[in-house]
Amino acid sequence: MLMRKVAIVGVGMTKFGEDWKRGFRDLILEAGKKALEDSNLHGAEIDGLFCGTMAPGPLIGQEHAGALLADWMGLNPIPSVRVEAACASGGVALRQGFMAIASGLHDCVVVGGVEKMTDVSGADVISALGGAGDQEWELFPGATFPAIYALAARRHMLEYGTTEEQMASVAVKNHLNGSHNKYAQFQNPITIDTVMKSKMVASPLKVFDCSPVTDGAAALVLMPLEKAKSHAEIPVEIVASAQASDTLALHDRKSLTELNATKVAAKKAYEMAKVRPSDIDVAEVHDCFTIAEVMAIEDLGFVKKGMGGKASADGKTALNADISINTSGGLKACGHPVGATGIKQAVEISWQLRGQANGRQVENAEIGLTHNVGGSGATCAVHILKRAD
């Protein structure tokens, strides 16, 4: 299979959080402008736009988001596509952009992600996010995503002896990383005690085990690697892009303690990049809940199955430890504007590989990975990035 090599030449993002002064359009415009400025490009050079956004209809009453974004960003008449894959919308949008450049169909594309989540009630957010699961078998009977991941946590505790304190250590580590990230929603370190004493959401998951509701946007500029050097001092090559699917409903899965879509996508990505899990220096994984990070580092092959909780508690996933996980603060501390998350992950890894992650830099980072999950694991996108000196 002949493909062109693809590079990230520009990155940009907004601060994540509760943004009461700006709307959906303002957020993606800021992120896109930053990415273009970072790549020393003008809008006229862009020939395609792919944007991940999960639920602009129920959240802000706006559909036809692809056309809206091209219009608002001043990129008409280029083709513009809204990509929806629940919380993996950003990661799948990145894959679409990657394939567009790799195939030769496009020469320069913007890949973005955006969500405005705080303009509606909490009940409306829960309803919108619930659509990422099986409505008939999960949401209608009352199974929200905290409840679904709580089932996974309980089963992981039963099978492997994982403890609530071990899961809490994930939150502590990610909040510490987030305290060094000016774009993060939460920038204060916390303790195990903070997590353990926080309000119960769905046993055993507490408030500090859960990612927040967030507004934000992120953007990337992609082009062929052969042209990248003229636009970026340190281009970041996308050496692998993989995606896999699983059953929408949790009750049809073979296991509650792993995400098969993650395992399949990761295997394909490692093979495509010709690397092993041990070659990855830094990874942004989908920690919508602390148990999700525990399972992710197992399913991605960074630790043995069942050892994710212990590895986290032992500090093996801390900054500049065995493998640096979620240096941005992850979904847990940096925030989770669902459509933007997969793009933010690639922005963070790009900064790490460029040596620009001020205050949270992984030493000698050369290879990074992003892991973006939709729903409870029905979709997974994995990308591997490498510094292209």
CA pair distance 310, 306, nearest whole angstrom: 8
Pairing of strands 6-13, 236-245: antiparallel
Active-site residue list:
87, 336
Pairing of strands 282-284, 205-206: unpaired
- Nearest CA to 344 out of 3, 13, 6, 8 is that of 13
Q: At what angle do helices 260-273 and 290-299 cross, to 10 degrees?
A: 50
